[in-house]
Amino acid sequence: MTYGEILFRTATSFAALLVLTRLLGKKQVGHLTFFNYVTGITFGSTTAEIIVNRQITLLQGIASLVLWSLLAYFIALIGLHSVKAREILDGEPTILIKKGEILEKELAKQHLNIDDLIMLLRNKDVFSPKEVEFAILEPDGKLSVLRKEELLPATKKDIKATVTPIQRIPTELIIDGKIVEKNLMKMDVSVAWLNQQLKKARIHSMDQVFYAELQLDGTLYIDKYQDSIP
């Protein structure tokens, strides 16, 4: 293989990779899920083979990248329109610590040991599970941590105010215009109450709601499909 051929294959592969990653969007670039991570690795290794492997023609290599991109794009579209598909494809967040108590069974399900958990907590500047109200392992493998109320910045403890124990975490009730039934049951919230809150916000149809979340104080955060911000 001549230097000219290598340079041509490299430039062509680079251009194809640039176009395809733009097609897949920022979610792929950010490796937000394990599937995104695997797709990124596959792209890199396939591109390397296209550049240096003479047994693979340039057309075959580009075709392979395009096909993989189309499959990834198709999977992303399915997840975009189906909550159940997102749960299957991307997985769900997992609570590892609740009210300072480590949930050993959930930890084992995620193939994590206590050292892994402590390391993830330290990455969040938390040095003891006792400080944690909730620790949630996200589908991308990162840990989200909600400290106990009295340990949050500008805490009520500092000003000696009465501390109300946290009874719930912010929970999604509507996604893509559809009610998340299991969360309604979990939070002991009725459809009638939900509809009442929507009416107060001058929303007359569930289809207008992109996302609705039950807050810590029991109020409802609503994000509509039609944003008011230009």
pLDDT one-digit tens code per residue, 23-39:
766 555 555 666 777 77
Task: Give residue 192's pLDDT.
Answer: 92
Contact (Cβ atoms closer than 8 angstroms) between residue 99 and residue 133: yes
Domains 92-151 and 171-224 share a fold: yes
203: nearest Cα among 221, 229, 188, 215: 221
What's the mean per-residue pLDDT of the chain?
82
173: nearest Cα among 113, 115, 221: 221
Query: Does the structure show a pLDDT above 90 at 97?
Result: yes
d(CA 27, CA 129): 31
Query: Does the structure show a pLDDT above 60 at 229?
Result: no
213: nearest Cα among 167, 171, 169: 171
For the chain, percent of residues with pLDDT exceeding 70:
86
Domain borders along the chain are 3-88, 92-151, 171-224
The class of domain 171-224 in CATH terms is alpha beta
pTM above 0.75? no
pLDDT digits (tens, 9 = 90+) for 103-125: 989 988 888 888 899 999 999 99
Average pLDDT, stretch 142-162?
76
pLDDT digits (tens, 9 = 90+) for 159-176: 676 766 666 678 889 998
| CATH number of 92-151, picked from 3.30.240.20, 3.60.20.10, 3.30.420.40, 2.40.10.120 | 3.30.240.20
Band of residue 193 on the pLDDT scale cut at 50, 70, 90: very high
- Residue 221: CB atoms within 10 A of its CB come to 12
How many residues in total does the chain contain? Answer: 230
Task: Give residue 145's pLDDT.
Answer: 94
Task: Give residue 19's pLDDT.
Answer: 77
Band of residue 79 on the pLDDT scale cut at 50, 70, 90: confident
Task: Give residue 53's pLDDT.
Answer: 82
More confident residue, 29 or 81: 81
DSSP H or E stretch at residue 172: strand 171-175
Task: Give residue 163's pLDDT.
Answer: 65
Query: Does the structure show a pLDDT above 70 at 227?
Result: no
Contact (Cβ atoms closer than 8 angstroms) between residue 117 and residue 98: no
Task: Give residue 12's pLDDT.
Answer: 84
Average pLDDT, stretch 195-221?
89
The residues, ordered by sequence, that sit 6+ positions from 183 with a Cβ below 8 Å of its Cβ are 171, 172, 173, 189, 214
